[in-house]
Chain A
């Protein structure tokens, strides 16, 4: 910071610190590339279907197993459905499942972790609860949850939304444990820091100590679990679809496309490559965004 800028700053009320965050974020090339790619993917999957008007479930039996052509740029699958249209439609589901499930597991994990780390009384109970969840065999649990709740949820929200809510919920509540453990460990270390004591000596109530001093300082590990969480959620969703527990078979998601294609991987490898590439690039982009955001949010790194 030069003297000139410092002086203008003192004269005016302080610049919103989110501008500083943005300035720092912009210097991270990977993060910018990731952000641009992520925006591109989002735009493609949400706006793309308006431009590429083929119905992803339309069966054109004559185009069966066709390779790339002008009519079907990514080719057509074993039933003659257009793969590009299915990719776009599938992306909508996969990305929204990924983002919301990650959000849910993050909120749950952070909540449990902060409670356990900050309030000693809750620690034992909550962490044993976390251990319990970690020890549960995931697949039977998912089977039971989906068996029990699929039909009521379908009745309540309709076919697609019902399954969406169920899948997000199931992925969310089975993947928060890692975050909870990481957050608890960090909170345990942070709450002994003197600035937390200083905040208490000022009279800041515990909930605001957590919001103002603890949470901003555990941003880095949360950010890392968030970016990993998206990948995990997309992949779990595809596993669920594969088992027939997720979305119905004709409903495209990236995971579903992968599993549909895997039987014919030797004849038509590109059908595995396209959704695989979409999943990995999205995950990579989110990882880079998370990385850049983590750096940008840390004032010690900012400005270097």
Chain B
């Protein structure tokens, strides 16, 4: 959507975000350690763009999304949305910020209260943040339902009467109700089947065009991220290992993990499919409660070096807008090594 993201304004600025969940054990519930779900990540999201956040299950993608919206109390770091620091604001004070930032959830079944009608669900944000009269509110709800392509007749129905795709549309309408600037889409398509996924993604893109929305699009579906995202961040075990524009990332992935991840994308053409040399990673993801010393990926990296096992890699900007955290690029040459 934006050819040169540098020009536009930074809407979301995340610096060194850490989200650690304590582990309690024993009779006295002593704190014996912590799950480092998100361990020091930084990125910017520019106004009007879509940042895709990909990674395997359990790498902390969803936690990042929720931590940015301060649905968790973050351990460390700073989150600035629209120029306002919200990283450590107490929850009650965040209320005024909530209309700016909204979320679309993964499971459309679980994210809608089964006891509320569709109009009540979509109208809830309006109840909380505006003083509209009943008729105004109803008109607004109808308008939102039109925008997401729901039949107005469905307003008085309940979530269980809808299909997955329709439920997700209800969730999107609710997120849109307060005219937010920034929406975190937490795997909004993971629970839908493929034909519906396309509809929902196209709807999200259309809405972005109409309202100038900014998305953080969390997904593990690399081809879908390629379709919707302007820039892509790849996460592994609580850290961002590579962040680049879509074209750069898919054409020339730099980090060994990104390379492995991209090589796992299935290819529809069987002729090409046979010829692909996949990078098969050995071993399992280490526990985020006990990540390896040095680079988090060093236990599985095909190109592991001695330094990886001792030193945490800093981030290197190897091309404009293309950053990766890997010791392979610590040499000054920014030309591709692999």
Question: Which residues on A are within 8 Å of B, measured CB to CB?
Answer: 1, 3, 6-7, 9-10, 13-15, 17, 193-195, 197-205, 208, 212-213, 216-217, 297-300
Contacts and interface: CB of A to CB of B under 8 A. Distances in A.
Interface stretch (B39-47, B154-162, B289-297, B308-316): B154-162
A298 B115 contact: yes
Interface stretch (B82-90, B99-107, B222-230): B99-107
B157 to A, nearest CB: 8
B105 A197 contact: yes
Interface of B: 66, 69, 71, 92, 94-99, 101-103, 105-107, 110-117, 119, 124-125, 128-129, 134-135, 138, 152-153, 155-158, 160, 171, 174, 178
A195 B110 contact: yes
B38 to A, nearest CB: 17
Given A195-B111, A198-B111, A199-B124, A14 B117 contact: yes
Nearest to B184: A201
A300 B105 contact: no
Contact of B160 (A6, A212, A213, A300): A300
B134 A198 contact: no
Select the residue from A1, A193, A198, A208 with max chain B CB neighbours within 10 A.
A198
B109 to A, nearest CB: 9
Nearest to A217: B115
A194 B124 contact: no
A197 B71 contact: yes
A99 B92 CA distance: 38
B98 A10 contact: no
A193 B109 CA distance: 10
A299 B71 contact: no
A300 B112 CA distance: 13
Contacts of B128: 202-204, 208
Contact of A13 (B102, B115, B116, B138): B138
A128 B159 CA distance: 38
Nearest to A198: B111
A23 to B, nearest CB: 13
Given A204-B128, A300-B160, A195 B113 contact: yes
5 closest A-B pairs by CB:
A203-B98, A299-B158, A194-B111, A6-B153, A194-B110
A203 B95 CA distance: 5
Contacts of B138: 13
